[in-house]
Structure 1
Amino acid sequence: MFSRFFKKDAPKTRRVVVKAGAQYVDPTFSLTVADVDEVLKRANLTRSDLQKLLYDDEIYGACERRISGVLGNPWRLEGDNTPWLYDAVSNIFEAALRIIMQAKWLGASVGELIWAADADGIMRVQSIAPRKIERFVQRDAGLMFKEQGGTEILTLPEKVLYNGVNVHKDNPYGDALLSRVYWAWFNKNYGEQFWSRYAERHASPLTVIKSAVNTANADDARQELAALAAAAAN
């Protein structure tokens, strides 16, 4: 579905084998470019995996405050500021901004511009859908999209909203802010889990009472339990 909006580029691009742990794993394809982020390599993560850090209350709150701060600033269109253009931009402004800010969290982001005809039959952008950055790479010819078969095709500028932070040839997926806080999040998240398990096991262990009486008689068993309870209370 997505590939029909792209134009074919020259012959297939040679695949580069990635030995590091940051290779994107998908049932149908893998990356042709290695991710140079050292944190992701050591943690064996992809760029999309970093989004789970947004479930942390502090990280999510910090990111949302940044987005809210940008959304709260007034904006205007320079030049042609006709009502229809202002309305068209207003309809997708927040979605576009969130995809743009996602590049700050992940290093790069891609959104697919969904075009559709309005009531007057004019083609306009109706929505923006986020796409996985692992399926795209910046080349000299432009932004390339990798098909499931392994070929790379050149994207059309009017079809994608691409953003990157410090993206260049040696760093094709940019600098991810969330990778800088990954180990702090890891220690906080898993450290609390390990401590909770330790406290449950050792700080407040379950009480185990052993009895020397081995009987199938219910009355004898109740008497023995009562005696053990009285002994434990004392």
Structure 2
Amino acid sequence: MTLKRSPTGLYLPDGGFHSFSESAQRKALTGSAIATRRTATGPGTGFALDLSVLPNPDPVLRKLGKNMQVYRDLRTDAHVGGCVRRRKASVRGMKTGLNRNQAQSRVAKSVESLLGDLNMERILGEALDAPLYGYQPLEVMWGRVGGLIVPVDVVGKPPEWFAFDAENRLRFMSREAGRLGELVDERKFLLPRQDPSYENPYGEPDLARTFWATKFKQGGMDFWFRFLEKYGTPWLVGKQPRSSDDEATEKLLDVLEQMIQDAVAVIPDDASITIVEAAGKAGSAEVYREFLTHMRSEVSIALLGQNQTTEAETNHASATAGQDVTDDIRDADAGIACAAINQLISWTVDLNWGGEAPVYSMWSEDEVNQVMAKRDEHLAKAGARLTPQYFARAYKLQEGDLLPPAAVPTTPVGEVSGAVAFAEPQDIPDYADTVAPALAALGQATVDAWVARIRGVVNKAASLAELPNALVAEFAELNDADLVHAMTLALSCAQLVGRAEVADGE
């Protein structure tokens, strides 16, 4: 049998089809790095950007006519740098995990293994630069490992090396590509961004909100230093007779300067030196202090969502609480990082296996405890009996945190090893009779809504032949969250009851 060629691939003797474009794409993905300092151009490199490339609309950069290096310089400020480190640390302190979701077991295990081979600490840190600069390109270095195409590294590249075109597509401003830049492959660069839009694909940088406050603070510090130099130390005033000439006056001035440095001086017996304190300047110094405190507060609000640690009137409790990043900012940053990692996982699964991909997620310990507490509350209302051992294990309680269950006041029937034995309580209702109505009520509303929608489709159908297609269209997207919640509670109840029965049998 001869091979049949086509413009896009090759038909094999076994009936399969090999795509040329797919091979070329995989070869391109496993090539060397595209964005390097040798090939980079853009703002500040002598190349004027074409009008088809959208300029960054950031008001600070546009007013200064500079690039992202301005924001990097801000991070050298002690307060800005500390807030950035604290903000990133709040996300790094969250729990991470891979949810299999609907993916195959072998796919989930392979993805978990490849994530373990990557430096996730560094990758997450670079992805978390996106909220600071608005956007943060991450170049994916693909390679072949065990017959699979997997990411062997993910490296953050300077944002100013990239721009967006009129269609909001990312372009690398390489020297070879000219003024329009090079359109990057969609699977070559991850692009975490904060609040991007069609009007502004570059995202909203939080460091832009701290720029003027930091610059004003630095300027205020300069004036404060001058104030302290002028009024913070006592003035030395030299006195000499009116008959003294200019040369004698200059000599006395030199003596005063030496006295300030060495605290000793030799003067004529008809001259005198007095020390004058700068009285009444404490109020002026306080004005500088309040101004600098206000500027620090602006930076804290922009980066951490609160300013309690910079306010002098806060107490110890509020200041300690203010050291943390607000939950909404922390969760938003974690969402940006997770979206980038999940995009990487999706590409990897699509290139190697296809189908559903597992989901990478981040959460805080407190959020898990709240979810478990709500679940346990529903189980208790449904009639489940949870043991102190369960609470200690689930909520990491210490020994002695839980009181032992109260003894049932019944008539003692005997003593065993010195302990009083009590009869079992009577008239305990059947567990299924107690739980079934509650679980049925949880799912009934969802089922009733489905029945109402089916009734509406049937009434609107012009003929019986149109009914199947109409039902498929009506239930193309089915929200089964409430029913799944009820079924989850039912399965949890059944599992707990089974364990309780086994324990009672022992």
Instruction: State TM-score, norm by structure 2.
Output: 0.35
Q: 1:59 aligns with which of 80, 83, 96?
A: 80
Q: 1:138 aligns with which of 164, 167, 172?
A: 164
Q: Give the C-alpha shift of residue 175 in structure 1.
A: 0.7
- The answer as to whether partners of 1:117 and 1:123 remain within 8 angstroms in 2 is yes
- The answer as to whether partners of 2:68 and 2:160 remain within 8 angstroms in 1 is yes
- 1:167 paired to 2:196: yes
- The answer as to whether partners of 1:141 and 1:154 remain within 8 angstroms in 2 is no
The aligned length equals: 205
- 1:232 paired to 2:273: yes
Q: Pairwise mapping of residues 120-131 of structure 1 onto structure 2 (< 5 A)?
A: 124-131=150-157
Which amino acid is 1:114 matched to?
A: M
- The answer as to whether partners of 2:236 and 2:273 remain within 8 angstroms in 1 is no
Partner of 2:209: 180
Structure label with greater radius of gyration: 2
Gaps of 5+ in 2: 1-31, 37-41, 101-106, 239-245, 251-264, 276-506
- What are the superposed Cα offsets for residues 139-173 of structure 1, whole Å, 9 maximum, x if unpaired? 43732212223242221233212111222332131
Partner of 1:78: 99
Q: Partner of 1:66: helix, strand, or coil?
A: helix
Q: Give the C-alpha shift of residue 184 in structure 1.
A: 1.0
- The answer as to whether partners of 2:168 and 2:201 remain within 8 angstroms in 1 is no
- 1:42 paired to 2:63: yes
Which amino acid is 1:166 matched to?
A: D
Q: Give the C-alpha shift of residue 205 in structure 1.
A: 8.5
CA separation of 1:227/1:29 partners in 2, compared to 1, >3 Å: closer, same or farther?
same
**Counterpart Cα distance in 1 of 2:140 and 2:237:** 63
Which amino acid is 1:231 matched to?
A: S
- The answer as to whether partners of 1:111 and 1:160 remain within 8 angstroms in 2 is yes
Q: 1:68 aligns with which of 76, 89, 101?
A: 89
Q: 1:101 aligns with which of 122, 125, 128?
A: 128
Gaps of 5+ in 1: 6-23, 215-224
Instruction: State TM-score, norm by structure 1.
Output: 0.70
**Counterpart Cα distance in 1 of 2:147 and 2:226:** 62
CA separation of 1:141/1:187 partners in 2, compared to 1, >3 Å: closer, same or farther?
closer
CA separation of 1:180/1:141 partners in 2, compared to 1, >3 Å: closer, same or farther?
closer
CA separation of 1:110/1:203 partners in 2, compared to 1, >3 Å: closer, same or farther?
same
Q: Give the C-alpha shift of residue 109 in structure 1.
A: 0.8
Q: 2:45 aligns with which of 11, 27, 34?
A: 27
Q: Aligned Cα RMSD in Å?
A: 3.5
Q: Partner of 2:124: helix, strand, or coil?
A: helix
**Counterpart Cα distance in 2 of 1:212 and 1:141:** 75
Q: Pairwise mapping of residues 145-164 of structure 1 onto structure 2 (< 5 A)?
A: 145-148=172-175, 149-164=178-193
Of structures 1 and 2, the one scoring higher in RCO (CA 8 A, sep 6+) is 1
- The answer as to whether partners of 2:60 and 2:208 remain within 8 angstroms in 1 is yes
- 1:200 paired to 2:229: yes
- The answer as to whether partners of 1:48 and 1:106 remain within 8 angstroms in 2 is no
**Counterpart Cα distance in 2 of 1:25 and 1:72:** 36
- What are the superposed Cα offsets for residues 95-128 of structure 1, whole Å, 9 maximum, x if unpaired? 221222111011111122234556x576543333
**Counterpart Cα distance in 2 of 1:95 and 1:35:** 27
**Counterpart Cα distance in 2 of 1:25 and 1:207:** 54
Q: Partner of 2:155: helix, strand, or coil?
A: strand
Which amino acid is 1:3 matched to?
A: I
Q: Which moved more, 1:58-67 or 1:178-187?
A: 58-67
| Larger helix proportion of the pair | 2
Q: Give the C-alpha shift of residue 185 in structure 1.
A: 0.9
Q: Which moved more, 1:174-183 or 1:205-214?
A: 205-214
- The answer as to whether partners of 1:146 and 1:153 remain within 8 angstroms in 2 is yes
Q: Partner of 2:95: helix, strand, or coil?
A: coil
Partner of 1:212: 248
